[in-house]
Structure 1
C-alpha cells in the first residue's frame, strides 16, 4: 500500500469528520474526494490506518473517526499554513491598531481570536522577566516623594513611589532628577531586565557623595521592579464557544471548563508551549529537537493534541499556540483551545496572523 495514498485517505477522513462531526465511511470518501482508487482499496487503506491507531470506529458498523495520533500525523504533514485573505489580514490590523494601551491590546486580541476561530482564545500578558526597558521616568511629587515610571518594550507600564528623604523641588533637586533620569535611560534603554538589574548598583558611584543616598534609593526601587517575581496573567475569551461542541466531549464539558477556570493551568500550558518555541528557535542540533515534544510548523505555530496535554481535564481538547513579542524577542504566548475535532489549518493560520500583528503593534 502506498504511504502517500494512505496519508491522503487519512487527510480526507480528518477533513470530512471536522466538517460533519459524523464518522466517515469508505463510500463517503469516494463520493467526496477524487482518490482515484476502488472502494476495496480505500477499505484496505482504512483498515491499515486503524491497525496503526490513526483512526477508530466509535461503535460497531460505523464509519471511522481520527484518533489523537491521527490528528497528530495530519498536523505534522501540513507543509505550510494557508495565509489568511487580504481582507481578513486588513481587518485584524485595523482592529488591533485601535488599541490605546497594553490592556486594550490584550482584550482586543482574545476577542478577535475567539471570533475568528469560534474557539476559546487565551493570551498571556508579556512577562517582565523576558522584557526590555524602553524608558525610565522620574517625577517629583512634592516633598521628598518621587514616582518612578518604567515603560517596557511591550507597552507595559510599572509605577512605584519612593520617599528619598530629601526635598527635590528645588533647582538643585530638579537638576539631580534630570541627571539621574538621563543616566538611567542611557544605562537601561533597550537592554533586558536582567542586564539592567546587574548594572544599577554601579550607578551611584557616578554621583557626588551628597546625592548618592537619593540615587541608591531610586535604583534600589527600580531594581526591585525589574527582578521581582510576579504572578503572570492570562486572559481568556470565548469560553461559551465550547457549548457549540458539546458532542465532542466524551462525557461532559465540565473538566474542560474547570481547567479553564484554573488560570495557573492555562499559564503553565502556554508557558510550556512558548518555551518549546524559544528552545527550538535556539536549537541547531536535530537530536535535541527530536526530544522536545510536538514539532511546530515551519511558521512557528505549535499544536498540542488530546493526551499530549499534562492536565487530564484537557485530554479532549487541542491547543494551537505561538509566541509574540516586540521585535524578534518572544515575550509571551497566545493561542486557541478547542475540541480535537478542530479545523487545524484555519486555526493555525488565524493564530499565526494575530500573533504577527500583535508583535507589530507592541513593537
Structure 2
C-alpha cells in the first residue's frame, strides 16, 4: 500500500492534470470520479486539506475546488520521473521541418514557429553565441570600384554582411589579395581570436593595402563583437491572449516584458546545459512582470558545446511534461542541424 505521502502526491498530480485540462478548480468528487485513486471521497478530502496546509494547493474562492500553487507545480515537476518521449511520428515531423531550413535565419525562424505550434505557448530562441563560433569563410565582393561587401560566415551558419566605402578605387587583383589576407588570418579562429587577429592586420599589410585594410578591419571588428540585443527570436505571442484568465491583471505587463529582449535573454540564462531542461515557475522568475508565468528552457549545441538557449514562456497552468518534451526535442534537432551545417 502506498504511503500517505505518496497518496497525497497522486492527488496533487490529479489536481494538476485536471486544472491544466479544464482551467477550472478541482473538487474531491471530480477527483474520485475521474481518477482511480483507490480511496474514498473522505480520504481524498483529507489529503486535499493536507496539501492545502502544505501550500501546494489553494482554494481560489469560497465553495470552489482547489488549484495548484507555484509550490505545487514545482513539486509536480520535480517528481516527474522522466520527460515523456515524443512519438516517432512527432520526432520525424520535427526533423523534416527543421532540416528544410536554408540558412541560420531560417533555422531560427522555423524553430520558433515549430516550438510555438507544438506547445501553444510563446517560443524563444537565442541565436548561437558568437564567442563560441568560429569563422568558416570571409568573402570580399567589389560592389563598385570603391565599395566592397564583406560576407562573414561562421561554422554555425550565421551570415553577416557589411558594406565598406573605401574612399578610393581598388583593383580586382587587390580585392583577391585582400580576400586571401583576411581568410588566412580568420578562418578556423574563434570570433574573439579572429577579432584580435584582424586588429593586427593593418600593421602587417603591404603599404598599398594598408589604407584599405584599416577601413575593412574596423568594419569587421564590429561584426565580430557580440551584440546581445540582436541575439534572439520570439514567436507565438498571440498564444498568451488565448489564456487571459491565467494572467489576472498582468497580461499587458507580461507582453511588454517579452518585448524587452534583455528580460527574455535573462530567462534563458539558465539554459547552459543541453542535457537538462530547466523549469522556472511563477515567483521563481526574477522579473516581477514574469511572476505569473513559467519558463521552460534548455541549451542547444553538440559535443558538449552549448551554442545558445531556447524555450517557451506561458502561464503556470501548462502541460509541463508535454512542453518539456517539445523543448528538449526541438533543441536536440537545432543543435544537430547547426553543428552539422
1:277 aligns with 2:277: no
**Counterpart position of 1:120:** 122
Mapped partners of 1:95, 1:211: distance in 2: 46
Match of 1:290 in 2: none
Residues 80 and 299, structure 1, Cα contact 8 Å, conserved in 2: no
- Classify the secondary structure of the residue corresponding to 1:322: strand
Give the Cα separation in 1 of the matches to 2:17 and 2:228. Answer: 43
| CA deviation profile, 1:272-331 (whole Å, cap 9, x unmatched) | 2433232xx4xxxxxxxxxxxxxxxx9421122112223333322212122234664333
Return closer, same or farther for 1:307/1:162 CA change in 2, 3 Å cut-off: same
Distance 1:98 1:40 in 2: 56
Residue 57 of structure 1, CA deviation: 0.9
Match of 1:268 in 2: 262
1:81 and 1:299 in contact (8 A); partners too: no
Instruction: Return the offset for 1:167.
Output: 4.5
Aligned CA distance change for structure 1 residues 303 and 141 (closer, same or farther; 3 Å): same
How many angstroms apart in 2 are the aligned matches of 1:94 and 1:61? 50
Q: What is the alpha-carbon distance in structure 2 between the residues aligned to residue 174 and residue 251 of structure 1?
A: 60
> In the alignment, is residue 180 of structure 1 matched against residue 181 of structure 2?
yes
Question: Is 1:321–1:336's contact at 8 Å kept on the other side of the alignment?
Answer: yes
Counterpart for residue 97 of structure 1: 99
Name structure 1 gaps, 5 residues minimum. 282-297
Compared with structure 1, are the counterparts of its residues 174 and 254 closer, same or farther at alpha carbon in structure 2 (3 Å cutoff)?
A: closer
Equivalent in the alignment of 1:357? 333
Distance in 2 between the 1:205 and 1:269 partners? 41
Separation in 2, partners of 1:143, 1:212: 17
Aligned residues: 337
Change over 3 Å in CA distance of 1:61–1:299 after alignment to 2:
farther
1:67 is displaced (CA, Å) by 0.4
- 2:56 aligns with 54
For structure 2, the residue ranges without an aligned partner over 5 or more in a row are none
C-alpha distance after superposition, 1:200-247 (max 9, x if no partner): 334456554544444444333322221264622543332332333233
Structure 2 CA distance for aligned equivalents of residues 119 and 103 of structure 1: 21
3-state DSSP class of the match of 1:250?
A: coil
Q: 1:224 aligns with which of 219, 222, 225?
A: 222
Q: CA separation in 1, counterparts of 2:303 and 2:44? A: 49
Of 335, 339, 344, which residue of structure 1 is paired with 2:320?
344
Cα distance in 1, alignment partners of residues 239 and 33 from structure 2? 31
Offset at 1:148? Answer: 1.7
Q: 1:1-363 maps to which residues of 2 (within 5 A)?
A: 2-164=4-166, 167-171=169-173, 173-184=174-185, 187-189=186-188, 191-204=189-202, 207-227=205-225, 229=227, 231-251=229-249, 253-260=251-258, 263-264=259-260, 267-278=261-272, 281=273, 299-325=275-301, 328-363=304-339
